[in-house]
Amino acid sequence: MAVVETRNVTKVFKEGELGAVNNVSLVTHEGEFLVFLGPSGSGKTTLLRMIAGLETPTAGEILIGGRVVNNLTPRERRIAMVFQSYALYPHLSVYKNIAFPLKAQNVPKAQHRQKVEWAAGLLGIGRLLDRKPRELSGGERQRVALARAIVREPAVFLLDEPLSNLDAKLRASAREELEQFHKNVGTTTIYVTHDQVEAMAMGDRVVVLHQGTVRQIGTPKEVYEDPADTFVATFLGSPPMNLLEFSDIIVGFRPEGFLPSDLVPGSKQVTFRYRIKYVEYLGAERVLYGNMEGGSFESKEIISRLSWNMPSGYEAGAVHDFSVAESDLRFFDRKTEKRTHPKPYPWQ
Amino acid sequence: MAVKLAKVKSVGSAQSPLLGAAMFSPAVLYILLIIGAPFVLAVFYAFSDARIASTEIHYVGLENFRSILQSPGFRQALQNSIVFTVVAVAIVVICSTMLSLALEEPFWGRGLVRFLILLPFVAPVSLGTIGWKWILDSIYSVITWVLVQMHFFTPFNAPMWLGEPRLAMGSVICVHCWRLIPFATVVMLAGSGAIPREIPEAASIDGAGFWRTLFQIKIPMMLPIILVAVLFSTVFTFTDMTVVFILTAGGPFDSTQTLPSLAFATGIQGSDLAAGAAISLFLVPVLVAVAFFMLRVASRAEVT
């Protein structure tokens, strides 16, 4: 097991252009499940590939287990990686796929069978050992890729969107299995995804990346409840945080915190007149799309999210009093878009 | 839409007996006239005593084959053909695999290098070979000149590239490889380009070095396309007579005579059509075997 650290890591693919990764510094904890989360093009995969040794940083240092590894080949870094496409060797059987890292690292041949069976058993693919990758389903391929990664007991696991090729149902169960698997093995894991649900569900901590820079590092609770800037606030959460711009400040609140006034607990709350334009019924919840009526935010578009057990009767076209508890308000500086201290406000 | 489609279909089927036959006939005619008829004629001649400038023709059974098999010239040509094909194909496959792997990674000037490598294949065979005839000439050879200037030889004991049996065979093989390597390289580039980038990357993360990745991952994955290159090169080499004919015309002492050039020399130049046809029929088993494997590879080729 080992700790991965990046110090001011930058990757510029074409000189003169904006880097794919810019000045990223972060440290994992021992045995942690760290998630890189960001939209496509945010540099998360490039950062992972630099940690793996598949890409050379333009500047900065990468440390694994306290040792600078910039000049080490992937094999010397003792890492294992699972690719989005799984990258199984199509001409080799599952057994030979899993045994390949052992062969490549000159593990005595006598130990191969036992180790391969251990890894395959851990992932429940023991009966597939004689098959070729093309004879496997997506979920089985993913397990083979994982088995190939753990078989030589690496110091760090790198996973590049390993669930994105699975269908929705399989993805949920594979996610659970991955979590369970990480608990069993306890190896430091870096997991790249653009799916916030995966990030929130699996991550011990989440690194939110945008345009090659780290916007926030924190537990899922921290990045969701206390976003560091408006990008994090709107990227996490579906539907995203409502943002109201007012002079030099931006005020944000989550749709699930914006509710009919009598449902908002506590006396410290802010109330708006809210006109519902249309309602999305999603079973467990209803999402209301509408706009403010009167006041300084006239006609500003706002989303509200009611859970299934809240009273019905909020229909399109109706105007109601909706409120947010003051403790649920988040304040951002309008210029920098970074989080600032709460300010008193002439709301209406 | 469905109505329209049905209507189009009915119009098509009403005319189909004629129209279909008309559209199909060029292909049938091509195969029958250009390939079928000469082949049948060759078989027919092989069992006859047909000669150029003779109007009489008789059935002679297996007589032609018997006399060919007994002639030392034929055995020499068969042996030469096998040597020529095996050595040339081996060189072509090894060189084109190396070239395709070298040309895979982008580097400065790659486009120009790829263009230069392809050039011998697009140049007319005969012109290219005539160029080589001069390069390998006994008096004007630039290769000899360079070697003499570098003091490897004196002008008096310089190698006669086309005049000594072993050297002549080597020269013919080299020139043929020069011509075929570009073609095979293009085929191989298609094969190596089809390997997803993640797979060699996964191998390097799994701890494999350059050689292991090459021999255990890349080349096995390219095997179907390598096989295609081998089969095509085999056909091109086994049936080729241009290079032999222009460079050495089979000499010296029949040391570079191959089956196609012997068939030409016997049947056309020697005016013994029957013997020429019988010689060329010996190409058929090899070509049938190659065609069989080619069709199998084509049907089994799968995308990973």
Read off the tokens for A180. Answer: 């369970």
Residue A347: what pLDDT? 60
Residues of chain B with Cβ-Cβ distance to A79 below 8 Å are 205
Mean pLDDT within B222-236: 86
pLDDT given at position B6: 45
Q: Which residue has the higher pLDDT, B144 or A231?
A: A231
Question: What pLDDT, on a 0 to 100 scale, did the predictor assign at position A199?
Answer: 92
Predicted confidence at residue B301, as pLDDT, reads: 57
Structural domains for chain B: 71-300 (1.10.3720.10)
Question: Which residues from chain A sit within 8 angstroms of residue B191, using beta carbons?
Answer: none
- Say yes or no to pLDDT of B3 above 80: no
pLDDT exceeds cutoff 70 at B300: no
- Report CA-CA distances (Å) from B289 to A309, B117, B269, B284: 75, 30, 29, 8
> Measured between CA atoms, how close is A139 to chain B, in angstroms?
17
The Cα–Cα gap between A80 and A148 comes to 8
Q: What is the pLDDT of residues B62-108, one digit of tens each?
A: 778 888 888 888 888 888 888 999 999 999 999 999 888 888 878 88
CA distance B124 to B280: 24
Tell which of A91, A136, A156, A165 to mutate to test the B interface (max B CBs under 10 Å).
A91
User: What would the two tokens of residue A341 be?
Assistant: 């201290």
pLDDT at residue B208 greater than cutoff 70: yes
Is B1 a residue whose pLDDT tops 50? Answer: no
Cross-chain Cβ contact A89/B203 below 8 Å = yes
Instruction: Tell if the CB–CB gap between A53 and B208 is shorter than 8 Å.
Output: no
* A2 within 8 A of A188, measured Cβ to Cβ: yes
Which residue would you say has higher pLDDT here, B286 or B32?
B32
Residues of B in contact with A89 (CB under 8 A): 199, 202-203, 217, 221
DSSP-derived 3-state class of residue B137: coil
Q: How many Cβ contacts (< 8 angstroms) between chains A and B?
A: 62
Which two three-digit tokens encode residue B41? 């004629």
Q: What is the pLDDT of residue A168?
A: 81
Smallest Cβ–Cβ distance between A134 and the set B204, B221, B304 belongs to: B304
What's the ipTM?
A: 0.81
Residue B118's pLDDT band (cuts 50, 70, 90): confident
> Which range, A69-78, B6-15, B131-140, B248-257, has the best average confidence (pLDDT)?
A69-78
Alpha-carbon Rg for chain B, nearest whole angstrom, is: 25
Cβ–Cβ gap A100/B204 under 8 Å: no
- Asked whether B256 and B77 are in contact (CB, 8 A), the reply is no
| pLDDT at site B265 | 85
Judging contacts by C-beta atoms under 8 Å, the chain B residues touching residue A83 are 198, 201-202
pLDDT at B4 over 60: no
Distance CA A184, CA A180 (A): 6
* Cβ within 8 Å, pair B221-A105: no
Give residue B159's pLDDT: 79
Q: Is B240 exposed, middle or buried (0-12, 13-18, 19+ CB in 10 A)?
A: buried
Q: What is the pLDDT of residue B13?
A: 52
- pLDDT tens string for chain A (348 positions)? 688 999 999 999 888 778 889 989 999 999 999 999 999 889 999 999 999 999 999 999 999 988 899 999 888 888 999 998 899 999 999 999 999 999 988 889 889 999 999 888 888 888 999 999 999 988 889 889 989 988 888 889 999 998 888 888 888 888 888 888 888 888 899 999 999 989 999 999 999 999 999 999 999 999 999 999 999 999 998 899 999 888 788 889 999 999 998 888 877 888 888 999 999 999 899 999 999 887 777 778 899 999 988 888 888 888 999 999 888 889 998 888 888 888 776 665
The radius of gyration computed from the CA coordinates of chain A, to the nearest angstrom, equals 24
Q: What is the pTM of this model?
A: 0.77
Structural tokens at position A218: 């924190």
B190-198: which pairs have CB atoms within 8 A and are 24 or more residues apart? B190/B225, B191/B100, B191/B222, B191/B224, B191/B225, B191/B226, B191/B228, B192/B100, B192/B101, B192/B104, B192/B218, B192/B222, B193/B104, B194/B225, B194/B303, B195/B221, B195/B222, B196/A85, B196/A87, B196/B304, B198/A83, B198/A84, B198/A85, B198/A87
Mean pLDDT of B178-196: 88
Distance of CA A310 to the CA centre of its chain: 30
Rounded Cα distance between A320 and B180, Å, is: 81
| Cβ <8 Å between B205 and A54 | yes
CB contact under 8 A, A79 and B205: yes
- Interval A203-245: pLDDT, tens: 999 999 999 999 999 999 999 999 999 999 999 988 999 998 8
Contact A309, A301 (CB under 8 A): no
pLDDT at B232 over 80: yes
Higher pLDDT, B139 or A62: A62
CB contact under 8 A, A75 and B217: no
Q: Does B188 touch chain A (CB under 8 A)?
A: no
- B198 to chain A, any CB pair closer than 8 A? The answer is yes
The answer, for B212 touching chain A at a CB cutoff of 8 Å, is yes
- The predicted pLDDT at position A1 comes to 64
Q: Whole-angstrom Cα distance, residue A302 to residue A313?
A: 18
Burial of B286 (C-beta count, 10 Å sphere; 0-12/13-18/19+) = middle
Q: Do B205 and A91 touch (CB under 8 A)?
A: no
**Given CB atoms, is B303 within the 8 Å cutoff of chain A?**
no
Separation between Cα atoms, residue A64 and residue A1, nearest integer Å: 10
Q: Interface of chain A against chain B, CB under 8 Å? A: 52-54, 73-75, 79-81, 83-85, 87, 89-91, 100-101, 104-105, 133-134, 148, 152
**Percentage of chain B exceeding pLDDT 90:** 12
> SS3 of A12, please?
coil
Say what the pLDDT of residue B304 is: 40
* DSSP calls for A61-115: EEEETTEE-TTS-GGGGTEEEE-TT----TTS-HHHHHHHHHHHTT--GGGHHHH
| Residue of A85, A91, A148 lying closest to B198 (CB–CB) | A85
